[in-house]
Amino acid sequence: MSGQRKNDQLSAVETDQSEPEIYALKQTGSGYKLSRRSFLSALGAGSLLTLLGCSKPQSRKIQITLGNNAFKAHLRPVTCVAFSPDGKLIVSGSEDNCLRLWDVASGQRIHVLTGHSNTVTCAAFKPDGTILASGADDKTVRLWDVTNGKEIASIAAHGQPVTDVAFNPETRTLASASWDRLVGLWDMLIDRMLCVLDGHTEAVTSVAYSPDGKTIVSGSNDKTLRLWDVQSGEEIKRFEGHFGDVNCVAFSPDGQTIISGADDRTLRLWDVGRGRIIRVFSGHSFPVTCVAFSPDGNTFISGSSDKTLHWWDVENSKAMAVFSGHAEGISGVAFSPDGNWLLSGSRDGTVRLWSLPTGTPVYALYDPEVTEKAPSTELTQMGLVTLTLPCDAPLPAGASCTCDCIATAHAYPGTETVCTCNTVAAPAKTALVAGEVCTCNTVKVGHYKKPGRSRGRRGGRSGSRRGGSRSYWYPN
């Protein structure tokens, strides 16, 4: 290989496995030399391969491996997530006192909603998608304009932290639940309380409207669910059966059943008309924290402090699938309106999109301004340690920050380097400051079988292997 070309065309790498390899191009006195490097699979093809330092990429949606929790949506634990009614937006709330609005297609962060003075605990979109409501430990409910991210109203809703909010699907009424044991019904246009639902003997943790907007179900630390008539404010039914605090409730799309999750690690499906338990779902090893019905009502998803999501068939008490990968407990779940995606938020600070029905691929909504401030993270893949450090952090002893070119493993006719970049080296204990970047190239990978007889390749750590393929690398 006699020279180095910028913006080279498609190049090939011959490998003996389906996974590609990375080669570093080093300049020497006699020209350029290739050296083999370990394949970085931590973030998947088409994603940032290594972050070491203080980079400034845009927020985006990144495909990740299940155990990768390095890409944060919030600096603090995520407490709630929701899809907009049209499925184009996602909202996430956090203990960092703010909410973030995300574009689903691109993963771009659209707005950061600030105004709450304490942990944001809940969020819900108005049925037409124009307004967002949030509740917080600061005892307020706030309304936000989804288009511009501006606060519309702040309501001193309760005497204790607000735990949940829900919009009436048929009217302009908003319901809020609180540790003060009450459920409040509010007229959104005039910020006035219309009714107080009083009956629980402990904190109310969750609230949901029926699809027709005529009734409300609430869950409480008194281990009960209660069904309320919206018009009169009277209690219609009381559902008893859980042996621990009820943490979440949801109506089925047809309004005939209710699902609830509790500290007793179970979920219970209730017949609304008769007020009886239809089925009990067991499988989580810690309290159930959140639940959501699928749009067709045939399945539902549950999240738990055990860090897993369970996908259940309504007609079967066994889980259809269990999705794991979050590093901390699950705090919020939702289905996309088309039912093709599962949304989860976790106390590990991440927000994930899971493709259904398999749960893969998995994407993380990533805010670089948050991630670079997060504590240092160490990922180990195939013997290589990758560090993600916050700004102003010194490199550990023995570490270096290097960005190398990706090049062809073999000189096929007309192919040289795929891309070029300057090599940057920072010695140990060097403080990386804002604006300094050390990022490996972003690549996408495709394969097709190499023509002719497959033969093993000698050398490398694994010795001789059979089989071969040609891998194409594209600079992103």
Close Cβ partners of 235 (under 8 Å, ≥ 6 residues apart) = 197, 199, 226, 227, 228, 229
State the Cα–Cα distance between residues 368 and 54, nearest whole angstrom: 9
pLDDT at 131: 95
State the Cα–Cα distance between residues 409 and 15, nearest whole angstrom: 8
Question: 27 has which bridge partners?
Answer: 32
Give the strand order in the sheet containing 257-262: 246-251, 257-262, 266-271, 276-282
State the Cα–Cα distance between residues 208 and 239, nearest whole angstrom: 15
Peptide bond into 85 cis (omega under 30): no
Q: What is the pLDDT of residues 100-146, one digit of tens each?
A: 999 999 888 999 999 999 999 999 999 999 999 999 999 999 999 99
**3-class SS letters over 371-427:** HCCCCCEEEEECCEEEEECCCCCECCCCCCCCCCCEECCCCCCCCCECCCCCCCCCC
- Where do you find CATH 2.130.10.10 in the chain? 60-371
Q: Write down how long the chain is.
A: 476
Helix (H, G, I), strand (E, B) or coil at 167: strand
Q: Nearest 5°: phi and psi at 371?
A: -60, -40
State the Cα–Cα distance between residues 371 and 390, nearest whole angstrom: 8
Question: DSSP string of 236-275?
Answer: EEEEE--SS-EEEEEE-TTSSEEEEEETTSEEEEEETTTT
The helix (run of H) or strand (run of E) holding residue 449 is: strand 443-449
The answer to whether the beta carbons of residues 228 and 215 sit under 8 Å apart is yes
Confidence of residue 267 (pLDDT cuts 50, 70, 90): very high
Close Cβ partners of 277 (under 8 Å, ≥ 6 residues apart) = 239, 241, 268, 269, 270, 271
| pTM summary value | 0.69
pLDDT at 61: 74
Res. 445: pLDDT tops 60: no
The answer to whether the beta carbons of residues 121 and 93 sit under 8 Å apart is yes
State the Cα–Cα distance between residues 453 and 34, nearest whole angstrom: 26
Q: What is the pLDDT of residues 221-262, one digit of tens each?
A: 999 999 999 999 999 999 999 999 999 999 999 999 999 999
Fold of 60-371: Methylamine Dehydrogenase; Chain H (2.130.10)
Close Cβ partners of 411 (under 8 Å, ≥ 6 residues apart) = 1
State the Cα–Cα distance between residues 132 and 246, nearest whole angstrom: 25
DSSP tally for the chain: helices H, then strands E: 1, 36
Q: What is the DSSP letter of 464?
A: -
Q: Which of 194-203, 313-322, 397-406 has the lowest mean pLDDT?
A: 397-406
Confidence of residue 329 (pLDDT cuts 50, 70, 90): very high
Highest mean pLDDT: which range of 1-15, 151-165, 411-425:
151-165
Mean pLDDT of the residues in the chain: 74
State the Cα–Cα distance between residues 104 and 84, nearest whole angstrom: 10
The helix (run of H) or strand (run of E) holding residue 26 is: strand 22-28
State the Cα–Cα distance between residues 119 and 45, nearest whole angstrom: 36
Q: What is the pLDDT of residues 195-231, one digit of tens each?
A: 999 999 999 999 999 999 999 999 999 999 999 999 9
pLDDT at 374: 52
Res. 417: pLDDT tops 60: no
Question: 300 has which bridge partners?
Answer: 293, 312
Res. 288: pLDDT tops 50: yes
Percentage of the chain exceeding pLDDT 70: 65
Among the listed residues 403, 420, 434, the one whose alpha carbon sits nearest the alpha carbon of residue 50: 403
**The residue type at 212:** D
Give the strand order in the sheet containing 98-103: 78-83, 89-94, 98-103, 109-114
Pairing of strands 162-167, 151-156: unpaired
Helix (H, G, I), strand (E, B) or coil at 370: helix
Alpha-carbon Rg of the chain, whole angstroms? Answer: 26
Q: What is the pLDDT of residues 85-104, one digit of tens each?
A: 999 999 999 999 999 999 99
pLDDT at 316: 87
Q: Which of 55-64, 336-345, 377-386, 414-423 has the lowest mean pLDDT?
A: 414-423
Res. 453: pLDDT tops 50: no
The answer to whether the beta carbons of residues 78 and 413 sit under 8 Å apart is no
CB atoms within 10 A of CB 238: 12
Helix (H, G, I), strand (E, B) or coil at 247: strand
Question: DSSP string of 308-342?
Answer: EEEEEETT-SSEEEEEE--SS-EEEEEE-TTSSEE
Q: What is the DSSP letter of 431?
A: B
Helix (H, G, I), strand (E, B) or coil at 368: helix
